[in-house]
Amino acid sequence: MSNKRVSLYDTTLRDGAQAEGVSFSAAGKLQLVRRLDAFGVDYIEGGYAGSNEKDMAFFKSLREEPLKHARVAAFGSTRRARTKVKADPYVPSLVKAGTPVCTIFGKTWKLHVKDVLRTTLKENLAMIADTVGYLKDHDREVFFDAEHFFDGYKDDPDYAMRCLEAAIGAGADGVVLCDTNGGTLPHEVFAATRAVVAAVKASVGIHTHNDSGTAVANALEGVRAGATQVQGTVNGYGERCGNANLTALIPALQLKMGRRCVRASQMGTLRELSLFVDDLVNLRPDQRAPFVGSSAFSHKGGSHVNAVRKNPVTFEHIEPAEVGNQRKILVSELSGGSNVLLKAIELGAGHEQSAEDTREVLKALKELESKGYAFEAADASFRMLIQKVLKEHKPFFDLEGFRVIVEKRGKDEDCVSEATIKVRVKGEIEQTVAEGDGPVNALDGALRKALIRFYPEIANVVLTDFRVRILDPQEATAAKTRVLIESSDGEESWGTVGVSENIIEAAWEALIDSVEYKLFREEEKKRRRKRKN
């Protein structure tokens, strides 16, 4: 690996927070700072100094938060036109924030100077120099974010460069070239960045937006042209289409280009970091995200799976574990024997399968998929299917019957769902009733009540997701319905599937698989412990 190092500058808490649907609590911001510090990020942009009380309170709390590696930056802008720095309503807040680093943005595109700032080109240069100089006088490390740099450079390269020189001349520690509108293409970024690196005597950074779908590519080209700092956000959060996604940018830099960013052990926690941030802002992870998505190393086509079984390099560009991910074999009507065998092994059921067993499982799989079942997101149901086809399945309980009632007791009253269930467990009949937010929730509650006395280990199982797909929309209300349920016990998550013309029956089928899978896994653990003893 090359010794050339690229500095990581994270702006998730500032630029990322500008994304639609993204908001960080005060506690959440502190949690993310700790996580980014542990991951090895060099600079963490904490927020916009002076713009709101929440960010200023956050900066204050950070003074009592010892970080092992990262330096925190407060973000702001150059002084206002025709205003002295000390009299500006926001610039002094950068100093008041108490962070060791200050990042300010300023205009480099004449269009903005004239139409937005409504001042002269000369005054804009003075605004940049005065603000940088003021912050350097207060012993801050200062980065100048050259806003709209690439648009400005296309319009008037001489003036865009003079803006950078104004910042550097006033003592800026680095200049950051920003593709603020996200409309620049990679070859343009490379050419402009190379020209800047050759002309200035300061470190050069790159800050790209994803409006053209090229933010990561643009950042990589910036580094290839000589930039030594990359700015971005975890999971690509940001205004409009987002910022350069650090979860794709970091491994591309380090694993593909040999530019050191973090330690290998830290790189191995990249997927965990991505999931942590999604969870922090209550967003569903992007399963198709490069490197860290749950589908990033999934294989479905039979010939592909066969090749991966022989040599993973045939269809995987890196080892999944390098970024904390794992290989996933999908099973569907496109599957071949290799899919079934590898998936069975992955689920702990395939080591002793014969070729005939594999054919029988594949046959059953294809029959069920022709009826509307889908096992790609339902590993637990597929595991139960293997057990049943190989005649190794022993039911933990038998259903005697259930009834679900949905009642609305008045125009302004909420619907009430109630489920009654009767099951036979270990020779005993158990009948229970439960209410829930909806019919499936009520059914789940009733089933748990019936089983908890016999199987206390299901107490910590919760339903984390519930998805419904109408398979034959042309059949209207008589259409077949597929229900996918995701469950978790806090340590492991698993998916199950059910299909029926009746949505409650489909949900019940998925519920049974969910509970039986948990009980089956507990039995497996007990057997392993016995063998060890």
pLDDT tens, position by position, 291-307: 999 889 887 766 776 78
Mark whether 412 and 354 lie in a shared domain: no
pLDDT for 305 equals: 67
Of 251, 280, 309, at which residue does a domain stop? 280
Mark whether 274 and 404 lie in a shared domain: no
In a domain, 385, yes or no: no
Mark whether 93 and 27 lie in a shared domain: yes
pLDDT for 18 equals: 92
In a domain, 314, yes or no: yes
Continuous segment of H or E residues that includes residue 8: strand 7-10
Lowest mean pLDDT among 11-20, 245-254, 391-400: 391-400
CB of 480 closer than 8 Å to CB of 460: no
Report the number of distinct structural domains present in the chain: 3
Amino acid code (one letter) for 51: S
pLDDT for 184 equals: 97
Per-residue pLDDT tens over the stretch 344-366: 555 555 555 566 767 777 777 77
CB of 388 closer than 8 Å to CB of 412: no
> What mean pLDDT do residues 228-237 have?
98
CB of 205 closer than 8 Å to CB of 173: no
Mark whether 191 and 307 lie in a shared domain: no
Structural domain that includes position 469: 398-502+511-532
Of 226, 245, 280, at which residue does a domain stop? 280
Of 219, 246, 280, at which residue does a domain stop? 280
In a domain, 313, yes or no: yes
Mark whether 64 and 140 lie in a shared domain: yes
Average pLDDT of the chain is: 89
HSE-CB for 84 with a 13 A CA cutoff: 2
User: For position 113, which CATH number holds?
Assistant: 3.20.20.70
Lowest mean pLDDT among 12-21, 39-48, 406-415, 524-533: 524-533
CB of 253 closer than 8 Å to CB of 229: no
CB of 172 closer than 8 Å to CB of 132: yes
Predicted TM-score (pTM) of the model is: 0.73
Mark whether 168 and 30 lie in a shared domain: yes
In a domain, 392, yes or no: no
Alpha helix stretches (DSSP H) within 11-156: 26-39, 53-62, 91-96, 110-112, 121-137, 149-155
Confidence of residue 478 (pLDDT cuts 50, 70, 90): low
Residue 2 in this model has a pLDDT that exceeds 60: no
Mark whether 125 and 273 lie in a shared domain: yes
Residue 232 in this model has a pLDDT that exceeds 90: yes
In a domain, 144, yes or no: yes
Instruction: Give the three-state DSSP class for 464.
Output: strand
Mark whether 53 and 109 lie in a shared domain: yes
Mark whether 154 and 260 lie in a shared domain: yes
Mark whether 328 and 471 lie in a shared domain: no
Mark whether 477 and 343 lie in a shared domain: no
In this structure, the strands spanning 43-48 and 71-77 are parallel
Confidence of residue 51 (pLDDT cuts 50, 70, 90): confident
In a domain, 287, yes or no: no
Mark whether 318 and 467 lie in a shared domain: no
